[in-house]
C-alpha cells in the first residue's frame, strides 16, 4: 500500500529546527524518507525567507535537486492557493513550471476556487493528478469535475481538530465517493492531533497513508520525532501489525 512522505509543508524552523526548506535540504530529506520505506514524496518549495511557493524557479530547483539525489524517485507538490495571490496567478505559475523539471504529480484541493481548471492544467502539463477534499462540502465539486476519473488517488484531508471527528469525516467522504462510482485509491491524512488516529483508520480501511513533518511532528506517543524518516518507519511498523 502506498505511503506518502509529506516532508515539510508550511512548517517553520521554530516548530521543528530540522524541517527541510532549501532545495538541497528537501532532496536530502526526501531521499532519507524514501530509503526508510516511503513510496513517494510530497514537498512544498520554499522561498529564501521560508514561505511556501509555486514559483517556477523554485519548483524547478526543488525537482532538479530531488532528481539528482534520487533519480528513480517520485516527487509531487501542491497547487494550493495559499502559495500565491489567487487562482489566476496559480494558473500562470503552474503553466510556467519548467518542462525539464516538472514534479511527477501535483495535488489540487477541491475546496478552492478554480480547482477543476487547475486539475485540467496539471494533466495538460503531463503530470499525474491527485485531487483533495477537506469535507463533504467539497465532494460535489470533485464529482462534477471532468478530471474525476483521471486521478491517481483522491486525498481526504479532514480540517477538524477532533481525532474522532477527523476519522468520521474520512469515512463519510470515502463512502460517498465509492457510492458515486469513484474507483481511484483513497488516501487519508490528518494534521497534528488527528495524524495518528487518521493513519490508523486508513490502515484499517485499506486506504493509502501519508506521514511527515507537514502533517505532524510527533510519534504516536506524543514525543517529538527525530524527523521524516522516523515517522515513515513508524507508519510501516503499524502496517506490519496483523489486524486483531
Reported as a single tens digit per residue, the pLDDT across 180-195 is 999 999 999 999 999 9
- pLDDT at position 241 is 86
Of 61, 31, 32, nearest in space to 44 by CA: 61
- pLDDT at position 244 is 59
Grid cell digits, residue 102: 516538472
- pLDDT at position 175 is 98
Instruction: Provide the 3-class DSSP secondary structure of residue 54.
Output: coil
Of 207, 214, 208, nearest in space to 19 by CA: 214
Grid cell digits, residue 109: 484541493
How far, in Å, CA of 199 to CA of 228, rounded? 15
Residue with cell 486483531: 244
Reported as a single tens digit per residue, the pLDDT across 218-236 is 999 999 999 999 999 999 9
**Poorest-pLDDT segment among 8-17, 126-135, 234-243:** 234-243
% of the chain at pLDDT higher than 70: 99
Residue with cell 503499524: 238
- Residue 10's H or E segment, with its range, is none
Q: Are 136 and 176 in contact (CB under 8 A)?
A: yes
Of 63, 42, 21, nearest in space to 108 by CA: 42
Reported as a single tens digit per residue, the pLDDT across 152-172 is 999 999 999 999 999 999 999
User: Which band of pLDDT confidence, cut at 50, 70 and 90, is reported for residue 242?
Assistant: confident
Q: Are 101 and 126 in contact (CB under 8 A)?
A: no
Q: Are 173 and 156 in contact (CB under 8 A)?
A: yes
Residue with cell 524547478: 60
Reported as a single tens digit per residue, the pLDDT across 33-77 is 999 999 999 999 999 999 999 999 999 999 999 999 999 999 999
Mean of pLDDT over the chain: 97
User: Which band of pLDDT confidence, cut at 50, 70 and 90, is reported for residue 199?
Assistant: very high
pLDDT of residue 140 exceeding 70: yes
Amino acid at each position: 500500500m502506498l505511503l506518502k512522505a509529506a516532508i515539510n509543508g508550511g512548517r517553520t524552523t521554530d516548530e521543528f529546527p530540522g524541517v527541510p526548506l532549501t532545495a538541497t535540504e528537501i532532496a536530502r530529506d526526501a531521499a532519507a524518507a524514501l530509503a526508510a520505506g516511503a513510496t513517494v514524496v510530497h514537498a512544498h518549495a520554499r522561498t529564501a525567507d521560508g514561505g511556501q511557493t509555486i514559483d517556477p524557479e523554485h519548483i524547478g530547483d526543488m525537482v532538479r535537486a530531488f532528481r539528482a539525489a534520487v533519480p528513480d524517485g517520485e516527487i509531487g507538490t501542491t497547487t494550493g492557493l495559499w502559495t500565491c495571490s489567487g487562482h489566476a496567478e496559480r494558473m500562470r505559475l503552474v503553466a510556467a513550471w519548467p518542462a525539464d523539471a516538472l514534479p511527477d504529480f501535483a495535488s489540487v484541493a477541491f475546496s478552492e476556487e478554480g480547482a477543476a481548471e487547475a486539475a485540467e492544467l496539471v494533466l495538460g502539463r503531463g503530470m499525474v493528478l491527485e485531487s483533495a477534499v477537506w469535507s463533504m462540502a467539497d465532494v460535489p465539486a470533485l464529482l462534477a469535475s471532468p478530471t474525476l476519473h483521471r486521478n491517481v488517488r483522491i486525498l481526504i484531508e479532514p480540517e477538524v481538530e477532533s481525532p474522532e471527528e477527523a476519522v468520521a469525516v474520512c469515512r463519510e467522504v470515502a463512502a460517498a465517493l465509492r457510492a458515486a462510482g469513484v474507483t481511484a485509491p483513497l488516501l487519508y491524512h490528518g494534521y497534528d492531533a488527528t495524524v495518528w488516529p487518521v493513519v490508523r483508520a486508513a490502515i484499517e480501511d485499506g486506504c493509502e497513508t501519508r506521514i511527515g513533518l507537514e502533517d505532524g511532528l510527533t510519534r504516536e506517543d506524543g514525543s517529538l520525532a527525530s524527523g521524516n524518516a522516523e515517522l515513515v518507519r513508524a507508519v510501516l511498523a503499524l502496517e506490519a501489525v496483523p489486524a486483531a
